[in-house]
Structure 1
Amino acid sequence: MGGRQSSIDRLPPDILEQLQELLRDPRVTQLDATMRINEILEVEGHPERVSKSAVNRYDMEMRKVGEKLRQSREVAEMWIGKLGATPQGKLGNLINETLRTLAFDITLKLQDIELTGESLPDVVDQLKGLALATQRLEASATLNVKREAEIRRQTLEEAASAIGETAAQAGVSPETIQKIRRDVLRMAA
């Protein structure tokens, strides 16, 4: 939070991109990447240099993020496979639950931060952001529930109409058709 920025974070974007490329290349060691980036910095006249430990921390963090993304993709693919062709509502609910869990985890981590005059504004900003995200998440969940109910109602109305037409063609009395329609539509309530 109000700590010193890493030498990696202070790299110009084009050099950071080169570092990322080097770290993705399995033939390049972290030591080689560190030396190459420092050479580029020197040639371009930047006073900044990166240490092997900073490159190592950055590489580990990027690998951790990459692993989480890979796992998220696998979980999403698994659930989409299980939910079938129209997974929007169920997938939306899954995403909402995942986001709720993350928000709770962040809240727990914020409790561990030592509040000082310097860190307090950052913590307050994070809490505001978390509260806003949670509010939007809950609004989204409510909207999903309403949308699912509307889709279900429309589907049942279409089914009741189709049943009514088929029943009328089969000679079923109008009173019986109305009762069937009412019973079908009651399922939407």
Structure 2
Amino acid sequence: MANETRGRRSKVDLLPANIRKRLDSGLRDGSIQQIDLLDEINALIKAAGLPEEQLLSRAGINRYATKMEAVGKSLREMREITQVWTAELGDKPTGEVTKLILEMARSQLFKALLNESETGEGADVGMIKDAMLAVQRLEAAAMASHKREKEIRDILLQEQAKALAAMPNKGGVTEETKQIIREALGIHG
């Protein structure tokens, strides 16, 4: 069955940003029924002075909600897979820059998934190649960041071990107390 609207933007795509944001948040929230959300969005369309042709239908809002749910499901699955791999690979890098880069990558993947669901066409092979290269680079950057953080933690633990060794045994501090502190901090040796 040929899609007559392929290549043409949907009514939702043509909505002003503030109305579309309200539609998206209403669908994500889930506390409002679609029919009530449809009435609210159509009232906003009328209040904005948009033509009657811009009003959404029940079928249109349902198609959009279904599309958003499919993209959301893909994102949830991607996050679950990421969590599994993170658990498998051990400590994950925690640098703020790394977190920002990964979130930007997720955002771009979301846009690609959304575009694919709108057009019905498969992803561009060049885009997949570029994405794989970007993931490889992100992984390398994450690993370098993780390695540096580990080096910093090791240096800190060595400094703490030296400070504990130099601490005199007085005022209730005994070798046993120092050993308890070493174990709590993860200082070995």
Specify the TM-score bucket, using the shorter chain as the normaliser.
0.3 to 0.5
TM-score (norm 2): 0.47
TM-score (norm 1): 0.47
State which structure, 1 or 2, has the greater radius of gyration over its C-alpha atoms: 1
